[in-house]
Chain A
Amino acid sequence: MLLVGIALMAAYAVLAMILIYVERKITAFFQARIGPNRVGKYGLFQTVADVLKILIKEIIHVNNVDRFLFYTAPFFMIIASMLTFGAIPFGKELHVIDFNIGVFYVTAVSSVGIIGVLLAGWSSNNKYSMIGAMRSGAQFVSYELSAGFALMTMVVLSGTMQFSEMIESQRFCWNIFNGHISSLVAFIIYLISGHAETNRGPFDLPEAESELTAGYHTEYSGLQFGFFYLAEYLNMFIIASIAATVFLGGWMPIHIKGLDTFNQIMCYIPSYVWFFSKVAVLIFTSLWIRWSFPRLRIDQLLNLEWKYLLPINLVNILVMVILVLTGLTLTDLF
């Protein structure tokens, strides 16, 4: 039990380091640069060096802040993302907790993180931080609704909230194909709102450098800033892996009904390789979007959610219910 916990925490940290390296390399690719290339071959040890640097940095004590809240805030972020991380099925049998309310657990627990952001912004006693936190709060609360509804659509399709059963039901047909129109809409909405929830891409206005210095974590230094940074990267991974699990079949290899030898060959590729490659594709897409679109204004951001995504989502759930009840999903048809 203890070992599992330690392994999970280690995986959390290592994944964050890998993600930071990958992000920097891909960003460089999109901006026609080389990226980190000095420390180690291809700059492979750049993030290791960065992590060591952030670990030995001094934590600067700021005057006139609410001490207790200022030091608790980063923990909310990191604990929320770590709790979510524990529920992800990384591979066959490689699943720490398999709640029967899996999807609901993930949405519930990840909503605690925003409190960290709000408290950080408030306790910093700084107008930039405050505005950043307010923006982040408004953004997260609105887009959480969309993400939840998109996941609910898929719960309607697979008839369960448990991740393991959900993956099992996608053995021959991924959910994104199974529910065709409705699933595709839900998938796109989930990716957009997942992006917005993690404060990334075109939705990074809580920490818009040109207006707000760094938003809610302006006053943080050293490892405390590291916590925010780590949680942000891991949240990107978590959103991608939940999208992969719910829509793209998680660790389940590609199977085609009737082609037994093909299925057998596909099973020789380990399940975690399938999982991580699906996640990698989604993360690449997320970075692609991040570096391709200009930043939205706050009113555009809220309009997008409340005037477009939410109504589409509500109609989409209804369409999915009709599809399932009338037996028009792909598995029912063929």
Chain B
Amino acid sequence: MEVHIVFYILSLIIAVFSVMAVTSGRLIRSATYLLFVLLATAGLYLILGYQYLFAVQTAVYAGGIMVLFIFAILLTQRPGGRITPESVKQRVFAIILSVAGAFFSGFIIISNIGRVSHLVDMKEIDSRHIGMTLMGTGKFQYLMPFEVISVLLLACIVGAIMIARKRS
């Protein structure tokens, strides 16, 4: 019962702040609202008992990406500045796109929810199991995708150095 109440509160936070994040006139406030959404999502993972994903969500999104966002805003915006609103054409286009996106993901959820006949009780997943799954080479173990992602990150680092280096 308590779980349900917490779930509804978190969902309400996610829904309200998602809308506020895109309607706010100030960039830094949008970032803060987005942060609330990300933290509430982390809370949902905690309800599911999936603590590892909770910590990853908090560390990577709230502690990493949001700090970068806020840094970028701090460096490029003037305190108290407002964003100029987009043109009507742009807005209509954005509305169509987001409604289509909502329909698309809604369709996927509804068509798949019938397939799950019963919910399996989640037991605590220990970090050793997660580590083996991420780093193993056997069946249902994902070393290959992990390495591919690290190549992508390496490319990002090289790109950043290329942009930041001093030109002689």
Contact = CB atoms under 8 A, between A and B. Distances in A.
A104 B58 CA distance: 10
Given A66-B28, A100-B124, A107-B59, A115 B80 contact: no
Contacts of B127: 100-101, 104, 160-161
B18 interface: no
Interface string B125-138: 01110000000000
A219 B57 CA distance: 32
B51 A112 contact: no
B67 A115 contact: yes
A118 B51 contact: no
A114 B26 CA distance: 20
Interface in A32-86: 64, 66, 68-69, 72
B29 A125 contact: no
A137 B72 CA distance: 12
Interface string A152-164: 0000000011000
Nearest to B130: A101
A111 B68 CA distance: 12
A29 interface: no
Nearest to A83: B58
A280 to B, nearest CB: 29
A99 B79 CA distance: 40
Contacts of A133: 74
Interface residues of B, number: 28
A119 interface: yes
A63 to B, nearest CB: 11
Contact of B29 (A68, A114, A161): A68
A130 interface: yes
B51 A66 contact: no
Interface of B: 26, 28-29, 32, 35, 39, 51-52, 54-56, 58-59, 62-64, 66-67, 70-71, 73-74, 79-80, 124, 126-128
Interface of A: 64, 66, 68-69, 72, 99-101, 104-105, 107-109, 111-112, 114-115, 118-119, 121-123, 125, 130, 133-134, 137, 141, 144, 160-161
